[in-house]
């Protein structure tokens, strides 16, 4: 009988602990197991996308911020650190959240409807949305949140052992743990588990294109359609996000877009119309676009939830502009949650909240008019 190394034992223990948590459901991303790891015990691993500069400085080449980081400092994401001229990710395999979610929660509406996704995240984010729903992990550094060592092979095994067909990097911002996403997707694929990513799309082209072939689907939060909003509310930039969305579409990885509508900030008729037209002309009419409802949180507790009128107006505009799959989110029971055939108008998938109540799709086609519906159905 072979013996276990300390690391193997830790992995097995963590995997068991995480597996034990799988039946739990939680609406919010919250720490699951473990405790905060002291800074000098974080699992540092050399980052994959950076270049060395003189004077022990480095330039991060992962996200468009392109942080130039001096020795002993971290990038804007808070999870990458320069140690003596070597840039390290501090969150590879350091999951602060692991949950089993319906894939509709991501939301993906055209990816294996009704399936479960083993969803994971680390601390950190490369932007700072004032409306962040998961700010308690995204806006903190890895040593500040409870976490557990859960390497890619352990995540993949948990999924396989529980009959879960999908892995999903989500909650905080997968771009900042991109090496972990890449390696988990590779390990998952070995076991027949497919990987999805829920991201802000604020990433440089090279790392994006290197990992896309390992992903079955990627959802991008298009937070608005104005640079001003990105600058003032997100502390990011719109243009690189649009480039990422185009690259995802071109790669063949399934793409869905979410637009969180905030009252008065990004929900004007003109902005929604411009966004819808851009999607149609640049990406095509069949890319699903979800307009979701904002609830006050983090630094925008002064705003009310998005009025239903505003959501419905956006939904109607998107459809009028020719988008075949416009959806509404965070309004459980609304007709805008369901998939309707653009050919004959028949209802194909009826959803209430994150639950699929009925799925009439037959081999990816409408059973009434046989129109092909794009997506990942099997």
Partner 1 sequence: MGRTISRRELVRIAGLGVAGLARGAGAAARPPRVRGRVGLAPLPPGAGGGPLDPAAAERALSAALVACTGLATARDAVEALFLPEDIVGVKVNSIAGPGMSPRVELVSALAGLLHQRGIPSHRIIVFDRSSRELARSRFPVRRDDGDWLCYGIDNDYDREPTASGQIGSCFARLVSTTCSALVSFGVVKDHDLAGVSAGLKNLYGLIHNPNKYHDHNCDPYVADVLNHPFVKGKLRLVVLDGVTAQCHGGPAYRPDAVWPLGLIAASTDPVAADAWAWKVIDAERQRKGMPSLEAAGRPPRFLATAARYGLGVADPAGIVEVRA
Closer CB to partner 1, 145 or 248, in the complex: 145
Task: Report the nearest approach of partner 1 to the CB of residue 71 (Å).
Answer: 4
d(CA 60, CA 49): 6
What DSSP character marks residue 5? P
Rounded to a whole number of angstroms, the minimum distance from the CB of residue 61 to partner 1 is: 18
H-type alpha helices, 111-151:
135-138
Other beta carbons less than 10 A from residue 368's beta carbon: 15
Peptide bond into 51 cis (omega under 30): no
Nearer to partner 1 (CB atom), residue 57 or residue 365: 57
- Residue 133 beta carbon to partner 1: minimum distance, rounded to whole angstroms: 14
Toward partner 1, which CB reaches closer, 144 or 251?
Answer: 144
- Which one, of 93, 120, 110, 142, lies nearest residue 29 by Cα? 120
Strands 58-60 and 50-52: antiparallel
Q: What is the closest distance, in whole angstroms, from the C-beta atom of residue 77 to partner 1 in the complex?
A: 7
- What is the distance between the alpha carbons of residues 171 and 166, in angstroms, rounded to a whole number? 15
d(CA 129, CA 123): 15
**Residue 54 or 163: which CB sits closer to partner 1?**
54
DSSP 244-272: HHHHHHHHTSEEEEEEEE-TTTT--HHHH
Closest CB to partner 1 among residues 62, 349 = 62
* Cβ 196 to partner 1 shortest distance, Å: 27
Minimum separation from the CB atom of position 78 to partner 1 (A): 4
Tokens of 242: 């649009």
Roughly what angle, to the nearest 10 degrees, separates helices 178-190 and 152-161?
40
- CB 19 → partner 1: shortest distance, Å? 28
**Shorter beta-carbon distance to partner 1: residue 57 or 243:** 57
Our CB check for partner 1 shows the closer of 33 and 69 to be 69
> 85 or 114: whose CB is closer to partner 1?
85
Positions touching partner 1 (CB under 8 A) are 36, 38-40, 55-57, 67-78, 128, 130, 135, 139-141, 143-144, 235, 298-299
* Residue 247 near residue 214 (C-beta atoms within 8 A): no
Cα atoms in the Cβ-side hemisphere of radius 13 Å centred on 217: 30
Min dist CB 75 to partner 1, Å, is 7
Phi, psi of 164 (to 5 degrees): -95, 125
């Amino acid at each position: 009988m072979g013996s276990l190394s300390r690391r193997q034992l830790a992995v097995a223990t963590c995997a068991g602990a995480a597996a034990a948590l799988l039946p739990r459901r939680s609406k919010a991303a919250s720490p699951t197991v473990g405790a905060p790891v002291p800074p000098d015990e974080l699992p540092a691993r050399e980052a994959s996308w950076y270049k060395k500069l003189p004077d022990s400085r480095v330039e991060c080449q992962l996200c468009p911020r392109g942080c130039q980081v001096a020795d002993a400092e971290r990038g804007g994401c808070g999870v990458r650190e320069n140690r003596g001229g070597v840039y390290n990710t501090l969150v590879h395999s350091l999951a602060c959240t692991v949950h089993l979610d319906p894939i509709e929660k991501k939301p993906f509406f055209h990816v294996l409807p009704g399936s479960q996704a083993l969803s994971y995240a680390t601390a950190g984010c490369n932007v700072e949305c004032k409306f962040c729903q998961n700010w308690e992990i995204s806006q903190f550094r890895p040593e500040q949140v409870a976490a557990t060592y859960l390497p890619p092979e352990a995540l993949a095994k948990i999924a396989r052992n529980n009959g879960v067909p999908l892995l999903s990097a989500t909650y905080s911002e997968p771009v900042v743990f991109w090496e972990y996403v890449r390696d988990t997707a590779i390990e998952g694929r070995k076991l027949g588990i497919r990987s999805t990513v829920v991201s802000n799309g604020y990433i440089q082209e090279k790392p994006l294109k290197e990992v896309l072939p390992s992903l079955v689907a990627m959802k991008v939060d298009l937070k608005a359609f104005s640079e001003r909003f990105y600058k003032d509310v997100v502390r990011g930039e719109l243009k690189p996000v649009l480039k990422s969305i185009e690259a995802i579409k071109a790669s063949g990885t399934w793409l869905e877009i979410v637009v969180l509508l905030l009252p008065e900030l990004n929900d004007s008729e003109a902005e929604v119309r411009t966004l819808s037209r851009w999607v149609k002309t640049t990406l095509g009419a069949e890319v699903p676009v979800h307009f979701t409802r904002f609830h006050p949180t983090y630094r925008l507790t002064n705003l009310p939830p998005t009025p239903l009128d505003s959501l419905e107006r956006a939904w109607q505009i998107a459809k009028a502009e020719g988008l075949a799959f416009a959806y509404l989110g965070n309004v459980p029971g609304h007709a805008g949650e369901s998939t309707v055939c653009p050919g004959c108008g028949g209802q194909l998938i009826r959803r209430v909240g994150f639950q699929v109540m009925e799925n009439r799709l037959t081999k990816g086609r409408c059973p009434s008019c046989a129109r092909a519906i794009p997506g990942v159905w099997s």
